[in-house]
Chain A
Amino acid sequence: MKHFKIYFLNIMIVCLLCSPAVAARIEISSPGEQTIPLAMTRLLPMGVGGAQPAIAAEFQQVLQGDLELSGLFDLTDPAAFLSDAGKLGLRRNEIDFYQWRMLGAEGLIKGGYRIAGGKLTIELRLFDVISQRLLTGRRYSGKLTDVRKIAHTFADQVLKSLTGEKGPFATKIAYISKRTGHKELYLMDVDGYKPVRLTNHRSIVLNPDFSPTRKELIFTSYSQENPDLYRKEIYTGRESRVSLKPGLNIGGRYSPDGREIALTLSKDKNSEIYLLGTDGTIHRRLTNHYSIDVDPSWSPEGDRIAFVSDRRGNPNIFIVDVHTLEVTRLTFEGKYNATPAWSPKGGRIAYSRMDNGVFNVFTIREDGTDERQLTFGSGSKEHPRWSPDGRFLVYSNDLQDGEKSIWIMRADGTGGRKISARGGHDSHPAWSHRW
């Protein structure tokens, strides 16, 4: 019995000693700061090569533009920078993190550049100021004219480090512009820089879409009188007609695997959605209704297609199952819903709705719930298309001055900015896949 008592007492003592101190349990269900405080220093010349401040300034402007558009960051005012900003220290032990922490920065971008023999080399680092850890480091080499491309590519890398997914800044946007007097196909950077005309049809070119697997585009052109579907290789410039059925061959969209094209054909006098092979042969008819069915857009899985139909009276968004051909209605509000675009990340579909003669961009969940209006105001905002990462939308904006232009915004409708230059009457944008 005596042994038992001792044994029991021992167990009690061990239990008491091992039991953790009373911990208060609390829940924090929202961060206090909903942007990442980031400091970005100006590129400094490396080595003995001549300094070209214009290179550093251009790089800074492009990278800053991309990071601001992302909405992720609260950029520290360079006026507050201390001495470390003037030092080219790209290694952890060369950086005075305390200075950056004093400024409230949690992230720090530092970099240097070297120009030798007409070749530009840029070294960049992203540090975690709090843990004093290198998050990402890159060295890019190219021509002097590649500085913008390098800035976009590093912006994508910064987003990958801080979100787990690359940004879309080093991609391209195709659009239709009337700056030559005819509606032609153009290509530009995501920030509107370097617009390049791709077609010279001297007719009407419409509805471009990028191949997910190759550097090529499909579009509709009236150059042979009939609205036919064309394919164009971007770098070789080679062009061919893919579909030239009588009547409409419009709204072509590549499937996510790039093997098929969903297209509106009116060869049988009524516009219906069809699936075509990339050689133009018809694989399947997806809709069969006396109403007008146009504007197909693939789900990221490639098993469903959203399209516009007036089968219930007014134009609305419907979804057809590619395998069962079952059609379900997606939008019920509004009298005119058009140009659906399915997010490449799934979940939401963007479209434009006309109210009182003005179009605005909306998004809705693919189950028809949680409809949100993203744009407001007097000018018509149409033809929304998603960035490849689903973070942004590009659309055309018809401001009241009668000039259509291409705009870009975050997927929640914030951060809208004009990217195309004046005087083009630009419309029908399409965002490329990873370039």
Chain B
Amino acid sequence: MLLVSLLLHLLLPALSYLPFFSQHSIEKPPVYRVNLVNKIVKNPQAGRPEATPVKKKPVVKPKSKPKPKPAVKPKPVPPKPKPIPVKPKPIPPKPKPAKVKPKPAAKVKPVPKKPQPKPAVSRVQKNNLQKRLEQMRAAKQKKASEQARKDRIAALKAAALAESSNIRSPIDAAPVGMADGTGNEAGVSAIAFVQEFIQQQWSFSKYQATGAPEAEVKLFYNAEGTLLHYKFLKKSENSIFDDSLLRAIAKSRQLPQELPEAMSFEIVFNLKDMLAKP
């Protein structure tokens, strides 16, 4: 029985080489950046992860067809004048006597009468008008401040978007994908996305660096992109460096996009690239 147990224990290391026990191999950090606006897909196509997604808006262009409408509008205008010259023809003989009579009468009567009713009506109207004007002004101000607020938010959003899509692709008009993509979906891989996102959350100054610290952290995300838990596989022995990683992890609690499935990432953090710069 002991022999069997021994044999079985010896078998275990051999079993670990079977295909269903996958081997971990560290992926060399890619030299490209990832535009975080790009969608995470399971099978990214060949392309550039930093490329800006092309919006297919040319479909909207047919709207330009209604533009000729203004040309149609003038058309009804010319017919209008046509009846006008017809109507005046019978009118001219009538006004002639009418014009003569009212002139003297109207000159005397309306002058004293008009001032009397005007104040009575205009006070109420004026009050109403003023109220309406005030309401309109208030509504206008509210609308303006609301618009200003919306503009500010839009400007902030635009700035944030510009910031996030600040990465310029070296290849113009490249399709969104991965450099080694073999799939058929326009988007980026979850690994590349997570790498870029967590890197952006990580703040550490070269003036804090001493030696060549390196730490390894395992992060577990669910399919919604929520960090379930994490653990340090290796600490750097530099508490300042490790604290900066904790902050980066805390800021990465929620990914801005969903993942294709629940995933875990073993991330090696170091300062190789930063310290290589003079």
B8 within 8 A of A: yes
- State how many angstroms separate the Cβ of B259 from the closest Cβ of chain A: 11
Q: Would you call B274 and A30 a contact (CB within 8 A)?
A: yes
Q: How far is the CA of A24 from the CA of B260 in the complex (A)?
A: 14
Q: Would you call B251 and A24 a contact (CB within 8 A)?
A: no
Q: How far is the CA of A32 from the CA of B166 in the complex (A)?
A: 13
Q: Would you call B208 and A72 a contact (CB within 8 A)?
A: yes
* Contact pattern, A 62-73, Cβ under 8 Å of B = 1, otherwise 0: 000000001111
Interface segment among B23-31, B40-48, B64-72, B114-122: the answer is B23-31
Q: Would you call B25 and A25 a contact (CB within 8 A)?
A: yes
B272 within 8 A of A: yes
Q: Would you call B264 and A23 a contact (CB within 8 A)?
A: yes
Q: Which residues of B contact A372 (CB under 8 A)?
A: 278
Q: Would you call B264 and A24 a contact (CB within 8 A)?
A: yes
Q: Would you call A162 and B240 a contact (CB within 8 A)?
A: yes
Q: Would you call A163 and B208 a contact (CB within 8 A)?
A: yes
A24 contact from B204, B206, B266, Cβ within 8 A: B266
Q: Which residues of A contact B4 (CB under 8 A)?
A: 4, 7
Using a Cβ–Cβ cut-off of 8 Å, how many residues does chain B contribute to the interface with A? Answer: 55
Residue of B191, B247, B273, B278 most packed against chain A (CB within 10 A)? B247
Q: How far is the CA of A16 from the CA of B21 in the complex (A)?
A: 8
Closest to B197 in A: A32
B218 within 8 A of A: yes
Q: How far is the CA of A253 from the CA of B244 in the complex (A)?
A: 39
Q: Would you call A27 and B202 a contact (CB within 8 A)?
A: no
Interface segment among A34-42, A270-278, A316-324: the answer is A34-42
B188 within 8 A of A: no
- State how many angstroms separate the Cβ of A75 from the closest Cβ of chain B: 13
Q: Would you call A20 and B205 a contact (CB within 8 A)?
A: no
Q: Would you call B240 and A106 a contact (CB within 8 A)?
A: no
Q: Would you call A32 and B199 a contact (CB within 8 A)?
A: yes
Q: Which residues of B contact A24 (CB under 8 A)?
A: 27, 190-191, 194, 263-266
Q: Which residues of A contact B20 (CB under 8 A)?
A: 16
Q: Which residues of B contact A130 (CB under 8 A)?
A: 246-247, 250-251
* Contact pattern, A 162-175, Cβ under 8 Å of B = 1, otherwise 0: 11100000000000
Q: Would you call B195 and A26 a contact (CB within 8 A)?
A: yes
A23 contact from B207, B218, B246, B269, Cβ within 8 A: B218
Closest to A345 in B: B210
A48 within 8 A of B: no
Q: Would you call A29 and B265 a contact (CB within 8 A)?
A: no
B274 contact from A15, A21, A26, A29, Cβ within 8 A: A29
A83 within 8 A of B: no
A391 and B203 in contact, given A28-B269, A29-B272 (Cβ under 8 angstroms): no
Q: Which residues of A contact B247 (CB under 8 A)?
A: 106, 128, 130-131
Residue of A8, A31, A32 most packed against chain B (CB within 10 A)? A31
- State how many angstroms separate the Cβ of A11 from the closest Cβ of chain B: 6
Q: How far is the CA of A354 from the CA of B66 in the complex (A)?
A: 74
Q: How far is the CA of A373 from the CA of B190 in the complex (A)?
A: 43
- State how many angstroms separate the Cβ of B36 from the closest Cβ of chain A: 11
- State how many angstroms separate the Cβ of A38 from the closest Cβ of chain B: 10
Q: Which residues of B contact A27 (CB under 8 A)?
A: 26-29, 267-268, 270
* Contact pattern, B 235-256, Cβ under 8 Å of A = 1, otherwise 0: 0001110011011101100000
B84 within 8 A of A: no
Q: Would you call B273 and A30 a contact (CB within 8 A)?
A: yes
Q: Would you call A164 and B240 a contact (CB within 8 A)?
A: yes
A79 within 8 A of B: no
A22 within 8 A of B: yes
Q: Which residues of A contact B268 (CB under 8 A)?
A: 25-28
Q: How far is the CA of A147 from the CA of B209 in the complex (A)?
A: 31
- State how many angstroms separate the Cβ of B149 from the closest Cβ of chain A: 15
- State how many angstroms separate the Cβ of A4 from the closest Cβ of chain B: 6
A35 and B265 in contact, given A23-B218, A162-B240, A164-B239 (Cβ under 8 angstroms): no
Q: Would you call A33 and B26 a contact (CB within 8 A)?
A: no
Q: Which residues of B contact A16 (CB under 8 A)?
A: 20
Q: How far is the CA of A198 from the CA of B118 in the complex (A)?
A: 91
Q: Which residues of A contact B190 (CB under 8 A)?
A: 24
Q: Would you call A29 and B195 a contact (CB within 8 A)?
A: no
Q: Would you call B21 and A23 a contact (CB within 8 A)?
A: no
- State how many angstroms separate the Cβ of B156 from the closest Cβ of chain A: 11
A26 and B206 in contact, given A32-B199, A130-B251 (Cβ under 8 angstroms): no
A34 and B205 in contact, given A24-B27, A131-B247 (Cβ under 8 angstroms): yes
B59 within 8 A of A: no
Q: Which residues of B contact A33 (CB under 8 A)?
A: 200, 202-204
Q: How far is the CA of A35 from the CA of B202 in the complex (A)?
A: 10
Q: Which residues of B contact A20 (CB under 8 A)?
A: 264
B201 within 8 A of A: yes
Q: How far is the CA of A164 from the CA of B207 in the complex (A)?
A: 11
Q: Which 5 A-B pairs have the closest CB atoms?
A: A30-B273, A32-B200, A33-B203, A29-B272, A31-B204
Extra 9 A-B pairs, beta carbons < 8 Å, given A26-B29, A29-B274: A7-B4, A19-B21, A26-B266, A27-B29, A30-B271, A30-B273, A35-B205, A131-B247, A163-B208
26 contacting pairs across A/B (C-beta < 8 A): A4-B4, A16-B20, A21-B220, A23-B265, A23-B266, A25-B265, A25-B268, A26-B191, A26-B266, A26-B267, A27-B26, A27-B267, A28-B29, A29-B29, A30-B271, A30-B272, A31-B199, A34-B274, A36-B204, A36-B208, A128-B247, A130-B250, A163-B208, A163-B240, A164-B238, A391-B207
